[in-house]
């Protein structure tokens, strides 16, 4: 566990250096093994495969009339000696390119022995023998005193003559194979390939490998340091910038890098920093706006309460009503914040019912007309027929009330406000379009982008320059309206109208009259 924790503390630079060093070390170890330990085995295996390939080529052309020329060319190209003898051990073809060739020293007796060994081995045989470890056979061994040939000594059970003097590390690879020709005659194919001692070569390679190892380790160390620094530098830089971002520095710069993945990471982090900066700015603005909107009614409540307590005669119904109004204002603000939060988080539960939207708008406008009658406002409800919708009646009433209140805030005292309800068809489905149009100053293009943001302060005020205190979108009204409309599957839009003024509109799913009658009939029957 401690080793794991220690490894986890290593930086990317040291990890890259360690991994690169281990990789180089493994490569050098394998190189040492293959070039020293296994070199002799590889060399003999290659010589064996070459001898067998030559033997197979001769066998494939054993019936060729040009076999002699082919054998001579094959022997020259592959540096092998070839001998092909018949059943009486007499030469049919021969290619002797080496003075140390053993098969060309063999007499009749030795050839018979090889023939028998080869036949016992299934018709093909390999044998590797030191070139000096062969014995001289004399006719005295078989009743005479004349030398009749040489045979390599392999430690068999045959009692042969004495060894020739002198030892050498050179070896001869003897390949023998019995082949039957088209004429039905058996012939013995012999190949002699010389295996040169590789000990001096191995020693030379070892010295070279030692030097190569030292140079490779030094170069790999330098290369590992350079590469690790090049790779880790942008990562470390990005990590340091991310730490600053985590500490609240949203102006930190995430520069691009030499690698695509790092550039993409920096781009993502730069976007995240930008969004976090916006969120932080919005948070600060939200806190400031909420504090302001909460402080104002609380100040008035506190001020009027102290006045009613400390000043004789100020405990009047009018002052009490002001306290009550500010309390209601404060309560409404808190409720709007809670409702907006629930709507945006998806935790607000809607109570969907079928109700007459036309009748609901008439009632809202009737209450509003009684409040604004003295100011000379003209609020008109434009509709052709009664429409029924399925929605949350309380929430939709809140939307219509806020839109009308917003229109009143921007319309001059003698202005006209039109609320309309029309049946429309969207995507082959019946819907109701509700619109509230005013005769205010209109909304600039910049303001339209942010008008539904919480506590956004627009740039236009009442026509006539009365006040800049009334700003479209001030508070939570329009933001709350948009959220309510969206949870009902609609979109709250705004546009300027000619010659001046603005129009807010949205659509709701309409309920056909036939559907209402049918459901009423079913309920009555039930």
DSSP codes joined into one string, 138-169:
EGGGGT--SEEEEEE--S-S----PBPS---S
What separation in angstroms does the CA of 439 have from each of 412, 460, 481?
A: 7, 13, 20
**Helix, strand or coil, per DSSP, at residue 121:** coil
- CB-based burial, 413-433: b 16+ in 10 Å, e otherwise: eebebbbbbbeeeeeeeebbb
Record the tokens describing residue 455, joined without a space: 């506590």
Return the higher-pLDDT residue of 391 and 247: 391
Question: Which of 7, 23, 11, 10 minimizes the C-alpha distance to 223?
Answer: 23
- For residue 198, pLDDT beyond 50: yes
373-399 tens-digit pLDDT: 656 678 889 988 888 899 988 888 888
30-39 tens-digit pLDDT: 777 776 667 7
Q: Which range among 296-300, 319-323, 344-348 shows the weakest confidence by mean pLDDT?
A: 344-348
Alpha-carbon span 5 to 23, nearest angstrom = 23
Length of the chain: 526
Question: Which of 311, 425, 433, 308 minimizes the C-alpha distance to 361?
Answer: 433
Is the model's pTM score more than 0.85? no
Residue-level pLDDT at 131: 64
What's the chain's average pLDDT?
A: 76
How many other C-beta atoms can be found within 10 angstroms of the C-beta atom of residue 364?
20
Residue-level pLDDT at 506: 92
If you search the block for the tokens 């040291």, which residue do you land on? 14
146-185 tens-digit pLDDT: 444 444 444 333 333 333 333 445 788 899 999 999 888 9
Return the higher-pLDDT residue of 17 and 425: 425
- CB-based burial, 326-342: b 16+ in 10 Å, e otherwise: beebbeebeebbebbee
Calculate mean pLDDT across residues 353-361. Answer: 91
Q: Are 97 and 54 in contact (CB under 8 A)?
A: no
Residue-level pLDDT at 188: 93
DSSP 8-state assignment for residue 64: -
Burial class of residue 151, CB neighbours in 10 A (0-12, 13-18, 19+): buried
Which helix (H) or strand (E) segment is 244 a member of?
helix 199-246
Work out the pLDDT band at 11, boundaries 50, 70, 90: low
Q: Which range among 73-87, 473-487, 498-512 shows the weakest confidence by mean pLDDT?
A: 473-487
Q: SS3 letters for 306-320?
A: HHHHHCCCCCCHHHH
- For residue 419, pLDDT beyond 90: yes
Range picked from 120-129, 269-278, 283-292, 515-524 for highest mean pLDDT: 120-129
Calculate mean pLDDT across residues 432-456. Answer: 82
Which helix (H) or strand (E) segment is 8 a member of?
helix 2-9
- For residue 256, pLDDT beyond 90: no
Reported for 112-121, long-range contacts at CB under 8 A and 24+ positions apart, including other chains, are 113/151, 113/158, 114/174, 114/176, 114/188, 114/190, 115/89, 115/176, 115/178, 115/188, 117/176, 118/176, 118/177, 118/178, 118/188, 119/178
- For residue 6, pLDDT beyond 90: no
Q: Which range among 191-195, 300-304, 514-518 shows the weakest confidence by mean pLDDT?
A: 514-518
Return the higher-pLDDT residue of 335 and 421: 421
Residue-level pLDDT at 467: 33
Alpha-carbon span 386 to 287, nearest angstrom = 43
Return the higher-pLDDT residue of 372 and 119: 119
Alpha-carbon span 519 to 383, nearest angstrom = 25
What separation in angstroms does the CA of 431 have from each of 111, 186, 422, 451, 461?
A: 109, 104, 8, 25, 33
Record the tokens describing residue 394, joined without a space: 């309380």
Calculate mean pLDDT across residues 437-446. Answer: 84
Residue-level pLDDT at 95: 92
**Helix, strand or coil, per DSSP, at residue 407:** helix
Record the tokens describing residue 438, joined without a space: 């005013």
Backbone angles phi, psi at 424, to 5 degrees: -135, 170
Q: Which range among 105-119, 266-280, 288-302, 491-505 shows the weakest confidence by mean pLDDT?
A: 288-302
Q: β-pairing, 147-152 with 124-130?
A: unpaired
**Alpha helices (H) along 33-90:** 39-60, 67-78
Residue-level pLDDT at 187: 93
What separation in angstroms does the CA of 455 have from each of 32, 180, 471, 472, 473?
A: 76, 106, 9, 9, 6
Work out the pLDDT band at 84, boundaries 50, 70, 90: very high
Q: Are 184 and 166 in contact (CB under 8 A)?
A: no
How many other C-beta atoms can be found within 10 angstroms of the C-beta atom of residue 262?
19
Residue-level pLDDT at 74: 92
Residue-level pLDDT at 213: 75
Return the higher-pLDDT residue of 96 and 335: 96
Go through the domains of the chain in sequence order and give each one's CATH number: 10-60+199-247 (no CATH), 77-154+164-197 (3.30.450), 260-331 (1.10.287.130), 349-522 (3.30.565.10)
Q: Are 254 and 238 in contact (CB under 8 A)?
A: yes
What separation in angstroms does the CA of 100 have from each of 44, 103, 194?
A: 18, 9, 8
Alpha-carbon span 106 to 88, nearest angstrom = 14
Q: Which range among 49-53, 256-260, 471-475 shows the weakest confidence by mean pLDDT?
A: 471-475
Residue-level pLDDT at 91: 92
* Percent of the chain whose pLDDT exceeds 90: 17
Work out the pLDDT band at 140, boundaries 50, 70, 90: very low
**Alpha helices (H) along 247-316:** 260-310
Work out the pLDDT band at 128, boundaries 50, 70, 90: confident
């Amino acid at each position: 566990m401690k080793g794991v924790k220690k490894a986890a503390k290593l930086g990317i630079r040291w990890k890259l250096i360690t991994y690169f060093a281990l990789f180089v070390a493994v490569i050098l170890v394998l190189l040492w093994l293959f070039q020293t330990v296994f070199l002799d085995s590889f060399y003999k295996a290659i010589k064996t495969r070459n001898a067998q390939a030559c033997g197979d080529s001769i066998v494939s052309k054993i019936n060729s009339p040009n076999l002699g020329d082919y054998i001579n060319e094959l022997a020259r190209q592959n540096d092998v000696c070839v001998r092909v003898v018949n059943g009486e051990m007499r030469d049919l073809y021969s290619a002797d390119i080496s003075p140390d060739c053993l098969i060309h020293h063999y007499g009749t007796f030795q050839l018979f022995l090889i023939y028998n060994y080869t036949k016992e081995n299934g018709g093909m045989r390999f044998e590797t023998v030191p070139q000096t470890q062969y014995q001289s056979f004399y006719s005295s061994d078989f009743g005479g005193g004349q030398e009749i040939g040489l045979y390599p000594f392999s430690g068999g059970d045959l009692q042969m003559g004495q060894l020739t003097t002198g030892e050498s590390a050179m070896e001869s690879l003897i390949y023998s194979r019995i082949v039957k020709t088209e004429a039905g005659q058996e012939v013995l194919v012999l190949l002699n390939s010389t295996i040169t001692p590789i000990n001096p070569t191995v020693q030379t390679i070892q010295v070279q490998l030692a030097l190569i190892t030292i140079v490779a380790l030094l170069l790999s160390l330098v290369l590992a340091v350079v590469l690790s620094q090049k790779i880790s530098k942008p990562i470390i830089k990005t990590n340091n910038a991310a730490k600053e971002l985590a500490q609240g520095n949203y102006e930190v710069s995430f520069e691009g890098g030499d690698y695509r993945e790092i550039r993409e990471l920096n781009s993502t982090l730069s976007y995240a920093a930008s969004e976090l900066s916006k969120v932080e700015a919005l948070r600060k603005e939200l806190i400031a706006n909420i504090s302001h909107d909460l402080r104002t009614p609380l100040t008035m409540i506190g001020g009027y309460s102290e006045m009613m307590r400390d000043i004789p005669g100020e405990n009047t119904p009018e002052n009490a009503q002001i306290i009550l109004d500010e309390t209601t204002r404060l309560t409404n603000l808190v409720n709007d914040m809670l409702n907006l939060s629930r709507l945006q988080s998806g935790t607000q539960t809607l109570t969907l019912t079928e109700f007459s939207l036309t009748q609901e708008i008439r009632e809202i406008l009737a209450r509003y007309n009684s409040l604004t009658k003295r100011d000379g406002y003209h609020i008109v409800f434009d509709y052709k027929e009664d429409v029924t919708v399925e929605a949350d009646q309380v929430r939709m009433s809140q939307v219509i009330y806020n839109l009308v209140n917003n229109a009143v805030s921007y319309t001059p005292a003698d202005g006209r406000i039109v609320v309309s309800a029309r049946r429309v068809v969207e995507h082959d489905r019946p819907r109701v379009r509700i619109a509230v149009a005013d005769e205010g100053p209109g909304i600039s293009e910049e303001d339209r982008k942010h008008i539904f943001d919480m506590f956004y302060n627009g740039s236009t005020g009442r026509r006539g320059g009365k006040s800049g205190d009334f700003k479209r979108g001030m508070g939570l009204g329009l933001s709350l309206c948009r959220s309510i409309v969206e949870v009902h599957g609609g979109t709250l839009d705004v546009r300027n109208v000619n010659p001046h003024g603005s129009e807010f509109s949205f659509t709701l799913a309409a309920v056909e009259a036939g559907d209402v009658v049918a459901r009423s009939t079913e309920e009555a029957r039930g």
